[in-house]
């Protein structure tokens, strides 16, 4: 709804950044050229005409983009332990019916958790064989290793897997799943970042020809998985150099700590992080709504689990507080 006399500069914010945390050690700074304020709409938005084909194509592209983003976020924010590939035995189940196959699989996993006192959480992406039969790739945690058995060269497995064993990979079988559904392989995750990127490769435009994209879910996941956390948003004061991704509307760059990203919200100056006994002349502060979470200034605490401390009971002066930054320049010499 429009407001008389209110210009576009009042409705939109320019040059806005969002700092989000993904898991323990991944921080993304997202720089938006323009963000519309909540509660406002354009009076006479220009709508381009759409044909039926164009509309379906737009929906597919948007769906693929959202799904890739969500899969990467879920893969990055949770403590996954295993990467797995699940196949379906066509004699036991209708592997050409994706929804029914997943329904049976999800029910079996819930029963397995109850029966074995496990707490398996999963992220699953369906993929179709050339003949249309479904199989799954995914990540999970909470599956005890004692429920698995390690594959050996003597097992009747494909040559590709035997080659992986010879090259030093450790591959596991899940006997309970194999007895119910079919062949399965699991491999312990060594690099969560690379694994998250690898998972997104299964969500591609090839799904347009698979029959999954517009008629089925592109991924399935357990309830209660962790998502990214917005740490800070505000006007960007410094240029985001060498972004990992950029287009006409957004620039994105990843950091290993919040301290590396927060100076982009301050004026282009030398920024120092204060502790309770600091006598630094230059500093960058940010203030937050309650409850507050503070970024530690201790240079020896760079790993993500030590980045934050709770405000209550902490007598030290917080180095940074998340909200709109107030940057103090060094005095002129």
| CATH number, position 117 | 3.30.70
**CA proximity to 244, closest of 228, 232, 256:** 256
Q: What is the DSSP letter of 244?
A: S
For residue 166, pLDDT beyond 60:
yes
Q: What is the mean pLDDT of the segment spanning 234-244?
A: 90
Residue 10 counted as domain residue: no
For residue 291, pLDDT beyond 90:
no
Residue 332 counted as domain residue: no
* Pairwise pLDDT comparison (264 vs 36), residue with the higher score: 264
Residue 229 counted as domain residue: no
Could you give the number of structural domains in the chain?
1
| pLDDT tier for residue 297 given thresholds of 50, 70 and 90 | very low
Q: In this structure, what are the phi and psi dihedrals at residue 205, rounded to the nearest 5 degrees?
A: -65, -15
The sign one gets for the Cα dihedral 200, 202, 203, 205 is positive
User: Dmax over Cα atoms in the chain, in whole Å?
Assistant: 82
Residue 182 counted as domain residue: yes
Residue 314 counted as domain residue: no
Residue 207 counted as domain residue: yes
Q: What is the pTM of this model?
A: 0.72
Mean of pLDDT over the chain? 77
Task: With H, G, I as helix, E, B as strand and everything else as coil, classify residue 173.
Answer: strand
Predicted pLDDT of residue 67: 87
Task: With H, G, I as helix, E, B as strand and everything else as coil, classify residue 180.
Answer: helix
d(CA 138, CA 129): 16
Predicted pLDDT of residue 82: 97
Q: What is the mean pLDDT of the segment spanning 224-234?
A: 94
- In the β-sheet with 229-235, what is the strand arrangement from edge to edge? 229-235, 12-22, 26-36, 250-255, 245-246
The 10s digit of each residue's pLDDT in 105-137 is 999 999 999 999 999 999 999 988 888 889 999
**What range does the domain containing 99 cover?**
79-221
Residue 139 counted as domain residue: yes
Predicted pLDDT of residue 169: 92
Predicted pLDDT of residue 43: 66
**CA proximity to 320, closest of 260, 268, 254, 274:** 274
């Amino acid at each position: 709804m429009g407001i008389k006399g209110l210009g576009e500069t009042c409705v939109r914010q320019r040059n806005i950044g969002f700092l989000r945390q993904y898991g323990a050690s991944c921080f993304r700074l997202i720089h938006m050229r323009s963000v519309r304020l909540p509660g406002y709409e354009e009076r006479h938005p220009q709508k381009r005409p759409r044909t039926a084909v164009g509309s379906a194509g737009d929906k597919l592209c948007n769906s693929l983009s959202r799904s890739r983003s969500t899969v990467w976020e879920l893969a990055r924010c949770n403590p996954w332990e295993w990467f797995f590939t699940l196949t379906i035995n066509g004699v036991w189940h209708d592997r050409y019916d994706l929804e029914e196959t997943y329904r049976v699989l999800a029910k079996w996993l819930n029963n397995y958790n109850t029966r074995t006192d496990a707490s398996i959480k999963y992220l699953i992406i369906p993929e179709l064989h050339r003949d249309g039969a479904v199989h799954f790739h995914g990540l999970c945690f909470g599956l005890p290793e004692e429920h698995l058995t390690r594959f050996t060269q003597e097992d009747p497995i494909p040559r590709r897997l035997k080659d992986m064993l010879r090259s030093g990979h450790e591959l596991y079988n899940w006997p309970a799943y194999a007895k119910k559904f079919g062949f399965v392989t699991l491999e312990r995750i060594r690099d969560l970042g690379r694994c998250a990127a690898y998972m997104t490769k299964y969500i591609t435009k090839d799904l347009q020809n698979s029959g999954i994209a517009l008629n089925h879910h592109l991924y399935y996941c357990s309830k209660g998985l962790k998502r990214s956390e917005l740490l800070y948003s505000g006007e960007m004061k410094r240029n985001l150099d060498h972004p990992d991704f950029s287009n006409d509307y957004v620039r994105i760059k990843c950091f290993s700590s919040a301290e590396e990203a927060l100076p982009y919200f301050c004026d282009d100056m030398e920024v120092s992080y204060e502790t309770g006994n600091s006598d630094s002349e230059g500093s960058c502060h940010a203030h937050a709504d309650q409850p507050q979470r503070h970024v530690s200034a201790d240079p020896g605490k760079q790993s993500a689990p030590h980045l934050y401390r709770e405000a209550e009971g902490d007598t030290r002066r917080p180095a940074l507080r998340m909200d709109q930054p107030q940057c103090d320049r060094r005095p002129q010499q």
